[in-house]
Structures are given as structure tokens and as C-alpha cells.
Amino acid sequence: MSEHKHTPEPWDVKGNQIKCPMGHVAECFRLDKYIEGNTEANAERIVTCVNAMAGIDDPAAFVKQAKAAPEMLKSLEAIAEGCSFPDNDVERAIRDRCRAAIAKAEGEL
């Protein structure tokens, strides 16, 4: 894992203040006078995103892959459904690997 150039996780949020293990990091201010409580909601969203990316070397690449995941899942389901010859070792192996990946994606493993 590469050396981080950002404040280490985990971050925490208290109201509109964002804190790291070493202390205060930032404070969110009200950006939209029409939305009550948006400073706290924005701070919570920032902290959630930062903590979700902990340990991921390239967050941009990770997000790009995550956005492709629903279409990949649909493709795996179609492939698993299309492998309908259980006596064919290759198709059975493909079907089983697809099913395992689908189960993992759906949180069943």
C-alpha cells in the first residue's frame, strides 16, 4: 500500500465538524440558505465517503469499477442462465463460478 497524502482514517463527525484521530480536520458551513441542517448532512456525507475509501489506493478507479458492477452482475446472471448443460464440464464450471460471484455480490457468501 502506498504512503497516504491525506489525513488518516477513521474520520468522525460531530455536528458540522469533521474530526480525525489526531483532532479537528474541517468544519462545514451552510452553503444553501434554503436547506436547514445541510451543514451536518454534508459533514456526515464527507466522513462516510472518506471512511468507505479507507485502504483503497486508487479511489477514482474503485468508484469507476463500482459503477460498472450492476451491469456486470446482469451479465453474470445471463451467462449462468445460459449455461444449461450440466453434463458439460466447461459450462458447469462457468455456471458455478458465475453463481459464486453473484452470491458474493448479493452478500450471500
The answer to whether 62 touches 87, Cβ cutoff 8 Å, is no
pLDDT (0 to 100) of residue 87: 80
Domain that holds residue 18: 12-57
Check residues 2 and 29 and name the one with the higher pLDDT: 29
Band of pLDDT at residue 101, cut at 50, 70 and 90: very high
By CB atoms closer than 10 A (0-12, 13-18, 19+), residue 31 is exposed
Q: Residue 39 falls within a domain, yes or no?
A: yes
By CB atoms closer than 10 A (0-12, 13-18, 19+), residue 63 is middle
Is the overall model pTM greater than 0.85, yes or no? no
Backbone angles phi, psi at 15, to 5 degrees: 65, -115
Same domain assignment for residues 53 and 78: no
> How does DSSP classify residue 9?
S
Number of domains in the chain: 2
- Over residues 50-100, the pLDDT tens digits come to 999 999 989 889 999 999 999 999 999 999 888 877 788 888 899 899 999
pLDDT (0 to 100) of residue 5: 75
Q: Residue 69 falls within a domain, yes or no?
A: yes
Task: Tell me: cis bond preceding 10? Omega within 30 of 0 counts.
Answer: yes
Same domain assignment for residues 18 and 37: yes
